[in-house]
Amino acid sequence: MKLKKRTTEGMNLLDIVLTEEGSVEGIVNFLQRNPGINPNGIIPAGTEIVVDTEEVQSRSVVDYLKGRNLRVNTGDIESPASPSELIAVATAIGEITLSWADNSQGLYGFEVWRRRKGALEFTLVEETDVAEVGYVDTGLGHGVTYEYKVRILGFAGAVDYSNVAEATTISADLVINASNPVGISIAGTGEWRHEGGVSYLFATAGKSAVSGIYLCDAGVSGVVDVSDAGWTSLVYLCVNKATNLDLRVGDWINQDGVTIEVVNSYVFKDLLKPFIAHVKQVNDVAANPNRTLDIGIITTDPAEDADLLADIDYLIANGWNVKIVYDKLLSFKVSAKTFLDTRGRVTDNAGEDLWLVNGQVFVSGYVNQNDVVEVYHTEPASLMDVIIDNIISGNIIPTQSLLSGSKLSARNSFASKQVLFNLIYEIEGLNPLNEFTLDILASETIDLYEDGDILKSELIDAVKVIDNLNVIYPKLRIGPDSGFSGFNATGSGDYTENENVAWKEGDFGVSFDGNQILNQIKYFEVFDDGLVGIFIRNNLNMEGWKIWSTQNTFSFNAGNTPISTADQIDFSNQVAISQVIYNSIYEFKAPLGSTINVLNLLNVDSGIHLDLSDYVISLNAGFTFRYCSAEQLIFSGVGNSIGAVVCDFRDSKLRGVNDWSGVTLNNTTIRYQNADNGGFPLEIIVADGSTIAAPLENKPLKIRTVDGTILYSNY
């Protein structure tokens, strides 16, 4: 069977035939199979040959020669001369170029061997093609000396190596540790190389050709040494947000216009003090005054350290503009383990933010229960949106620095309602400006009236609480003290407990006409001057309302002038107003010519009664209670009166005894036609001394006074 092989070391014809086929008798056949072989010389290593395993004459000869790596010495074959004149030159960054003389008539390739100077052993790094006399070694270290030697490929110890040549790779002018080198750059001439967390700057035209070095936000740590005298043109250096920074500067800092930014790199004074002392040491008192050192945030007041403050004052007195702040925006204690990524949580602002967890600089990761988070900022006077959404907190403590033109977003951030109350207490104590916004999504319903001792009305005016709040607002205020000029919510949609329904005063009063839901608007405060009418009509639901007034009155007279327009108060066409309570209103007035209209009230107080006993009613206008589902209408308070008007109860579901014992009728007409109520009788008890006009369409109806005097009865 014929096989293709390649020769290894330089061999002659007899070597190959004996080691592959075991007998000199096979030479003729071998030459016929390999007509390109030179029978009179060395066959170069790597030459392709064809051998025939069937031609093997003596397997023992083959095994013996190969097993002992023996060569046949015919006395006619000469070994090639070794390469010479090896030269090594550093030609580029991390690169050395080799060249040598080939003394073997161009018949062989070469082996290239390398070691770092001082090492014991050479390592084979390349095997060249035949007749090549050069090699470029790349990917080398910077500023490292390497040694090289070469020899003919395939001759092992039979041919000597060349001379040893050495070269040193180009050294970097600045070496730094940087975990995020994407934004690293320079102003001037040079080249950066980034390898395995280490960045190398090669000032290819010399250090003097570099005017700025930008290491901002590069994740720099450890030593940054720019103290060499060669940095003669350097006027800007930025090493923001570094960790364990050891920045070494030189005489270049005494040039006009020099700016050094180390914002948030020396946040603790123990790190800052040696750097400030170093700058002071290098500083030339005769230097130009136009120089800036922007330190950013430190977590303690420099005035608390006399030595540090003295050094800072020295720099300022000698031409440095030193920018340093120690303003905290807020702090909070974590109530439940959560993942916190601080990036992007302070937006729409100039400057840099700094987050600490338990006193250590923090960017991203898990925070645990009872961890204390602090947020600082370099430009506290700029507009800021600070976001601590979805971090459940046991307390949130803002500072005055946060409240100047800012918004704090704290959605789903309260471990309890009390945490929110405490936050608002803190805000109130800091006297926030009106433009401050608190954006919250409360985890539980907050009733701003029931919690009125904590949540004061003046605070509501000062703090804007926006967007999807689970908050019941304290009251709808109508009247001259409300500071508004009118409100009409006609057809404007749903008003539920989550809505901040505006409260206004004006010549048409207030109107909720044609809305779909008026649910759980609990507190409705009314002032009596300047109000003309209230219309709450055609709504689907008024469940759970409470009417409340600090004025102790619910009246509709403008400057004591009678109002002639009809329907001054109109609760008509409500589908449901169950559990509506009209309380703490001690005077219920409607001027002459007006009408109280409660048409089509369905499901009033769950179909049982509408109790207005707390009212002091002075009714000189019509009272319409048609198509209403309440079974009882109660006016049991004292001092009520109804004038010579019509009280219309037709088609309502009133039945049984209705207690109006606190109401005096004055020639009042009662209309009652109960066709939809199965003919159930209606009995109304009114105050002694009452008088009625002739009832109209009444069946069955009885009207009597408290002392039993029958004023009217048709059953």
Taking 70 as the threshold, does the pLDDT of residue 191 lie above it? Answer: yes
Binned at pLDDT 50, 70 and 90, residue 446 comes out as low
Residues 700 and 674: their CA atoms lie apart, in Å, by 8
* DSSP H or E stretch at residue 387: strand 384-387
Q: Classify residue 24 by its DSSP letter.
A: G
Secondary structure of residue 158 in the 3-state scheme: helix
Helices 306-317, 269-282: inter-axial angle, 10-degree rounding: 40
Chain CA centroid to CA 342, Å: 7
Q: Residue 72 has what pLDDT?
A: 53
The whole-angstrom separation of Cα 714 and Cα 673 is 12
Residues 630, 608 contacting (CB under 8 angstroms): yes
Per-residue pLDDT at 190:
95
Weakest-pLDDT range from 318-332, 410-424, 598-612: 598-612
Structure tokens belonging to residue 657: 């005894």
**Percent over 70 (pLDDT), the chain:** 65
Q: Residue 82 has what DSSP assignment?
A: P
3-state secondary structure of 679: coil
* CA 682 – CA 700 distance, rounded (Å): 6
Collapse the DSSP code of 605 into the 3-class scheme (helix H, G, I; strand E, B; otherwise coil) and give the result: helix
User: Distance between CA atoms of 208 and 185, rounded to whole angstroms?
Assistant: 16
User: Could you give the 3-state DSSP secondary structure of residue 270?
Assistant: helix
Whole-number pLDDT of residue 500: 38
CA dihedral over 703, 707, 710, 711, signed as positive or negative? negative
The CA–CA distances, whole Å, from 288 to 21, 254, 257, 283 equal: 88, 7, 8, 10
Q: Which of 335-349, 448-462, 510-524, 568-582 has the highest mean pLDDT?
A: 335-349
C-alpha–C-alpha distance, residues 599 and 306, integer Å: 80
Contact 414, 440 (CB under 8 A): yes
Q: What is the Cα–Cα distance from 55 to 2, expressed in whole angstroms?
A: 9
Better-scored residue on pLDDT, 545 or 340: 340
C-alpha separations of 69 from 37, 62, 66, 157 in Å = 22, 10, 5, 12
- The yes-or-no verdict on residue 594 having pLDDT over 80 is no
Distance from C-alpha of 167 to C-alpha of 445, rounded to nearest angstrom: 77
**Start-to-end CA span in the chain (Å):** 132
Q: Is the separation of the CB atoms in 534 and 597 below 8 Å?
A: no
**Could you give the CA distance from residue 253 to residue 318 in angstroms, rounded to a whole number?**
12
Q: What percent of the chain has pLDDT over 90?
A: 39
Structure confidence by residue, pLDDT tens digits, 564-584: 333 334 444 443 333 333 332
List, as one string, the DSSP characters of 497-549: TT--------TT-EEEES-S-B-S---EEE--SS---EEEES-S--TT-EE--
Question: Average pLDDT in the 174-187 region?
Answer: 94
**In this predicted structure, which of 97-111, 298-312, 424-438, 544-558 has the lowest mean pLDDT?**
544-558
Question: Is 675:654 a contact under the CB 8 Å cutoff?
Answer: no
* Biggest distance spanned by C-alpha atoms of the chain: 158
Amino acid at 510: V
Q: What average pLDDT score do residues 41-67 get?
A: 65
C-alpha distance from residue 563 to each of 542, 556, 589, 590, 597 (Å): 27, 8, 12, 9, 15
- Sequence-distant (6+) residues with CB within 8 A of 226 are 174, 213, 234, 237, 247, 248, 249, 250, 252
- Spatial separation of the C-alpha atoms in residues 715 and 707, rounded to whole Å: 19
Residue 554 and residue 243: Cα distance in Å, rounded? 68
The gap from C-alpha 357 to its chain's centroid, in whole angstroms, comes to 17
Report the pLDDT value the prediction gives residue 368, as an integer from 0 to 100: 96
Contact between residue 92 and residue 191 where contact means Cβ atoms under 8 Å apart: no
Token digits for 413? Answer: 């951030």
Question: What 3-state class would DSSP assign to 234?
Answer: coil
CA distances from 224 to 177, 200, 244, 250 (A): 8, 11, 11, 12
| CA dihedral over 620, 624, 629, 631, signed as positive or negative | positive
The C-alpha atoms of residue 190 and residue 231 are separated, in whole angstroms, by: 13
Taking the C-alpha atoms of residue 345 and residue 260, their distance in angstroms, rounded to an integer, is 26
For residues 33 and 13, is the Cβ–Cβ distance under 8 A? no
Between 362 and 157, the more confident residue is 362
CA distance 304 to 438: 33
Beta-carbon contacts of 119 under 8 Å, excluding residues fewer than 6 positions away, are none
Predicted confidence band of residue 21 (pLDDT cuts 50, 70, 90): low
Q: Both tokens of residue 199?
A: 């960045």
